């Protein structure tokens, strides 16, 4: 009796089961990997673009904010460089603050300035920014008058001492501190009138 053994080769088994190299996943797996790579690259590039756009907008916001503080500081400093209104103003009569007459600090007006509450100072100077101003001598010491070195915001302080310098000022939580400097005469001595503006 003859046995009917079938002799099948690997190729005939594949043909019988209709299996081809592509249906086993060889090329299909490669196509899936390629698609995943393309999608991942698109997501990564999108995130990089969003990051750079955000950084650019943040930088523009900072520059705009610094520009606003510079304008505010200039307006405050310009006003302080006048004698104010009305001439010889007091805390009760002041319409516009000012402490300088003809490039000289008017000590009477400076004393009157100390009596004006800070909220009123900001309203009269039409500013929403915080500020202080002070007078700095050529040797770097801040001028003290009636135990006051800083005029304006009570949030910024200077210690007591015979020669307090700018570096000794406690700026507290002042962010984006912008200095505006003018030159005036204080008791016939040239000094720097520095206005600090911050948010």
Task: Please enumerate in sequence order all residues whose Cβ is within 8 A of that of 73, keeping only pairs 6 or more positions apart, or say none.
Answer: 129, 131, 178, 179, 180, 195, 196, 197
Report which of residues 21 and 143 the model is more confident about: 143
Residue 5 lies in a domain: no
Cβ pair 159, 48 in contact under 8 A:
no
Quote the percentage of the chain above a pLDDT of 90: 61
| pLDDT band per the 50, 70, 90 thresholds, residue 135 | very high
Neighbours of 142 (CB within 10 A): 22
Predicted TM-score of the model (pTM)? 0.69
**Dihedral sign from CA coordinates of 72, 74, 78, 81:** positive
Segments forming the whole domain that contains residue 155 = 11-199
The number of domains in the chain is: 1
Q: Is the pLDDT of residue 7 over 60?
A: no
pLDDT of residue 87: 92
Q: What mean pLDDT do residues 29-34 have?
A: 67
Per-residue confidence band for 40, with pLDDT thresholds at 50, 70 and 90: confident
The per-residue pLDDT for 182 is: 97
Q: Is residue 1 part of a domain?
A: no
Please report whether residue 3 resides in a domain.
Answer: no
| Model confidence pLDDT, tens digit, residues 73-95 | 999 999 999 999 999 999 999 99
H/E stretch holding 72 reads: helix 26-80
Listed residue (127, 99, 128) closest to 112, CA to CA: 99
Q: pLDDT at position 6, please?
A: 52
Q: Is the dihedral of CA 172, 178, 183, 185 positive or negative?
A: negative
Residue 122 forms part of a structural domain:
yes
Summarize the confidence of residues 152-178 as an average pLDDT.
91
Give me the pLDDT at residue 45, please: 85
Residue 2 lies in a domain: no
């Amino acid at each position: 009796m003859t046995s009917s053994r079938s002799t099948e080769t690997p190729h005939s088994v594949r043909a019988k089961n209709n299996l081809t190299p592509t249906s086993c996943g060889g090329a299909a797996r490669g196509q899936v990997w390629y698609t995943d790579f393309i999608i991942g690259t698109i997501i990564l590039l999108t995130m990089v673009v969003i990051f750079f756009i955000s950084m650019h907008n943040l930088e523009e916001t900072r520059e705009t904010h610094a520009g606003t503080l510079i304008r505010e500081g200039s307006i405050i400093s310009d006003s302080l460089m006048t004698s104010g209104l009305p001439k010889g103003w007091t805390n009760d009569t002041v319409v516009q603050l000012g402490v300088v007459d003809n490039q000289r600090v008017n000590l009477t007006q400076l004393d009157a300035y100390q009596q004006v509450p800070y909220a009123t100072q900001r309203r009269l100077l039409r500013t929403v920014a915080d500020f202080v101003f002070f007078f700095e001598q050529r040797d770097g010491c801040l001028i003290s008058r009636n135990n006051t070195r800083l005029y304006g915001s009570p949030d910024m302080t200077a210690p007591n001492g015979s020669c307090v310098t700018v570096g000794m000022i406690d700026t507290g939580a002042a962010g984006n501190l912008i200095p505006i400097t003018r030159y005036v005469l204080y008791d016939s001595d040239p000094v720097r009138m520095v206005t600090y503006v911050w948010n």
